[in-house]
Amino acid sequence: MATTNATTKCSTCNREERTYLCQGCSANFCLKCLTKHHQAHIDELDRIGNNYNNLRKRLVAQKKDPKKRPLIQQITQWENDSVNEIRRRAKEFREILKEYTDISIPETEKKLNDIAEEIRKTREDNQLNEIHLDKLKEKLQKLAKELDQPSNISIEQKSAPFIKNFSLILSKYNTSI
């Protein structure tokens, strides 16, 4: 690490003493400062060794469990964010539709009661014919359709995505997915 020199100034403490030249940084150090300089190298090597050990642990963990790989975690996060956005919007749409359809339910209920009264009256009067029965069936079918799919509400699905687009680019294979 060091070669001896005649007396010169130590680059750390500036004392005129016998100094040693560090081959790595080309600075002159007295024996006391050279020892500290050498200890700093030992400490740095220990930090490098710790970083190596930590990287080795991460490698083993990622090899053992692919879910721990950062890119796979990014994909999982994108998936979760997208699903959460879909759930948030679906909840919002459900709440709006519930409020809107809560208004129309009493009207539908009144129409259904009117049909029930018409059925009761038809039985009571015993006025049965195909035309009358067909009209009752048609009213019930129309009311059922209106209950399931109100004419003043529609759901539109657009082809443009509302989730963030996500691509995987594999440069080694020059492929994009």
pLDDT in tens, 91-115: 998 998 888 888 888 999 999 999 9
pLDDT for residue 132 is more than 70: yes
The average pLDDT across 112-124 equals 93
The average pLDDT across 56-81 equals 94
Q: What are the boundaries of each domain within the chain?
A: 2-64, 69-151
Element housing 118 (H / E): helix 70-125
- Please state, in angstroms and rounded to a whole number, the distance separating the CA atoms of residues 41 and 78: 43
| Residue of higher predicted confidence among 53 and 177 | 53
The label of the residue with tokens 């035309």 reads: 131
| Residue of higher predicted confidence among 138 and 89 | 138
DSSP 157: -
Strands (E), 2-60: 2-9, 16-22, 28-29
DSSP 127: -
